[in-house]
A = this chain, B = another copy of it.
Amino acid sequence: MQRNLTAGSLVGIYAKLSQAWQTQNSLLCVGLDPEMAFLPEHLLESSTPYFDFCSAIVDATAPYVCAFKPQFAHFAAAGRETELAEVLNYIHARYPHLVTILDAKRGDIGSTATYYAKEAYERYGADAVTLSPYLGYESVAPYLAYAERGLVVLCRTSNPDSNWLQNDPADTEPVFARVARRVAEWNAQGQCMLVAGATYPEELGSIRQLVGNMPLLVPGIGAQGGDLVAVLQHGLDPQGTGLIISSSRGILYAAAANGERVTADFAQYAANAAAALRDEINKNRDTT
């Protein structure tokens, strides 16, 4: 089951991601969050509606992205783990140059963490997986053992009630900064990334100061109101890369108004939305 990421000069997740940024000329990541209520009518009869939907989104948006981020809970709540694995296989087979990030936010220790790593990297074959930092190093070590895979640790999340834990002004050093420093220490093999929400661009900037060129996964553009221009100003690395800017609903369900089922031409709408966001990012990359 273990995939070999070594192909030509590509070795390891940083190399794969860097190459995807360059060859795709894109920092955009499309989040794959399928929801039965929003799928087009014609897929409701399928035995694999989530795979059908996601693979169509992948084909439509692949030209415009550096990465795809399938979200675990959306599949798991519906008992559709097999389709999740098939979506990842589909991306790896057709678009081996694009990075896959399994968004599962795992966080446990010991043998349990070892099994979560095995699930993400072997069962699903993901290039990278999202993790919680709450339990510290013991919850990260089993993932680091997969030298060519990546791990994306929550640092500063985009939602407002994370403040009291992640950024309490009473702390000598806020927790998000402690997390950034620790993850940088754990990064001997070039595997680590951090989640830094677009809704807190200045804190994203201080994370960038703490971790050098470490890639940052940035949710919160779109519905959550993150400021794209500020994110780019504070977060780009000296090469004009370093960010994986994630959008899910704004692309997946671009064919429908809020809360409605998408139409049969959802993939074309998704492609247009992805192209537009990629271009908006690039326009602001050039001017910063």
Residues of A within 8 A of B (CB): 33, 35, 71, 73-74, 76-77, 79, 81, 103, 105-113, 115-116, 118-119, 122-123, 132-139, 154, 157, 159-166, 168, 170-173, 175, 178-179, 182
Contact = CB atoms under 8 A, between A and B. Distances in A.
29 contacts: A33-B111, A35-B111, A73-B106, A73-B113, A73-B116, A73-B119, A74-B111, A74-B112, A77-B115, A77-B122, A79-B81, A105-B108, A107-B107, A107-B132, A107-B134, A107-B154, A132-B134, A133-B165, A136-B160, A136-B162, A136-B163, A136-B166, A137-B161, A138-B160, A138-B162, A164-B178, A170-B173, A171-B171, A171-B172
Contact of A73 (B79, B115, B165, B173): B115
Contacts of A136: 159-166
Contacts of A175: 165, 175
A157 B134 contact: yes
A167 B122 CA distance: 34
Contact of A109 (B77, B110, B157): B157
A45 B62 CA distance: 43
What's the number of copies of this chain in the assembled complex?
2
Contacts of A122: 77
A50 to B, nearest CB: 12
Contacts of A119: 73, 76-77
Which residue, A136, A160, A168, A178, has most C-beta atoms of chain B within 10 A? A136
Contacts of A159: 109-110, 135-136, 138-139
Given A105-B107, A136-B160, A136-B164, 10 more contacts: A71-B112, A73-B106, A107-B107, A110-B159, A132-B134, A135-B159, A135-B162, A136-B166, A168-B178, A170-B172
A160 to B, nearest CB: 8
**Which are the 3 A-B pairs with shortest beta-carbon distances?**
A136-B161, A73-B115, A137-B161
A254 B97 CA distance: 48
Contact of A154 (B112, B118, B135): B135
B112 A138 contact: no
A132 B164 CA distance: 14
Nearest to A113: B73
Contacts of A164: 136, 178, 182
Contacts of A173: 170
